[in-house]
Amino acid sequence: MDKQKDLDPRYLWILPRDLQPTPQLQKEMEQITIEDDGQSWPATSAGPPGWPYYINALNNGTANMTKPPRNIISPQLRAHRNVLRSVKAEYQQDKVPGIENEDDHVHFRLTLAALQYIGLDVHGGLERLVRVKLNCEEKKKAFPMTCIAVVDPGKARRYVNIGVHLGPDSPLRKPPATLEHAVRNYTKISDLVDPFNRVPGNADDRKMDEMIERSIGMGQRSHLNWEFERMKFRLQVRKEYREVLIDQAVKERYPETRARKRERIGE
């Protein structure tokens, strides 16, 4: 991990494979609403209009916040309409592949704004967000975190699971003192990187590359390359923690084998 000179520091956030909202996000959706004709509309004054709904909709369909009720006037709804008017006006200028009408444009623009509001961002911006989300809908799968960068971890972790950070001060960077410790570390990393073990821990580089390419879909080459290298790094981290686990198991259960190995390599 430390040997990679050109490592993008954003890769050090080992995020869950897929988006995992926290209970706090659900509370934000339920806390303050305005009832009208059987619909609930967010009345939160902070952040983009309806931001909790857009985050949640990444995994669960769409958030139709483009038509607030006309017979309720409040500062929040007035601000909501102003934002929608401004975003719709930019539809003809943006021309993002995959966005076919004004409502789609509003949905994706406010989704990106919602992610940025909670301390996250999308590598590749609006265009990459659209590509990834449409691919999820086509394949009926959860929203992957491969394109997500952590900007404000303190804020982001309130609303979504952001995994662990493998910075120099991370407890996960310390050598395990016991086998139990090594198991905990490996399990933590493995559950984040590949919870269903779709890429076996002993897979060779060619096999890993093939599986990564299939998983990230289509898009601009620069965005795909960034995500490809990130996924390779994540799998390499998992492999390193697996090797540490095996080494610790040998050390504790077969100390004489460990001693002979050290003699051979001159440690």
SS3 156: helix
Cα angle 171, 174, 180 (rounded to 5 degrees) comes to 85
Q: Is residue 45 part of a domain?
A: yes
Is residue 215 predicted with pLDDT exceeding 90?
no
Q: Higher-confidence residue: 194 or 69?
A: 194
Say whether both 50 and 125 belong to one domain.
Answer: yes
Report residue 122 as tokens.
């999308």
Report whether 114 contacts 48 (CB < 8 A): yes
**Residue (of 195, 134, 192) closest to 163 by Cα position:** 192
Among residues 101, 133, 162, which one ends one of the domains? 162
Q: Is residue 10 part of a domain?
A: no
Say whether both 122 and 154 belong to one domain.
Answer: yes
Cα angle 25, 102, 76 (rounded to 5 degrees) comes to 45
Report whether 170 contacts 218 (CB < 8 A): no
Q: Is residue 11 part of a domain?
A: no
Say whether both 170 and 156 belong to one domain.
Answer: no
Is residue 68 predicted with pLDDT exceeding 50?
no
Q: Is residue 95 part of a domain?
A: yes
- In the DSSP assignment, the letter for residue 36 is E
Say whether both 152 and 52 belong to one domain.
Answer: yes
Say whether both 26 and 63 belong to one domain.
Answer: yes
Among residues 162, 182, 200, which one ends one of the domains? 162
Say whether both 211 and 249 belong to one domain.
Answer: yes
Compute the CA torsion angle 15, 155, 77, 30 (nearest 10 deg): 70
User: Domain of 226?
Assistant: 165-265
Say whether both 199 and 157 belong to one domain.
Answer: no
Q: What is the pLDDT of residues 115-148, one digit of tens each?
A: 999 999 999 999 999 999 988 888 888 899 999 9
Q: Is residue 62 part of a domain?
A: yes
Average pLDDT, integer, range 179-188: 96
**Residue (of 2, 16, 5, 18) closest to 188 by Cα position:** 16
Is residue 267 predicted with pLDDT exceeding 80?
no
pTM of this structure = 0.79
Number of domains in the chain: 2
Say whether both 37 and 111 belong to one domain.
Answer: yes
CA 244 to chain centre: 26
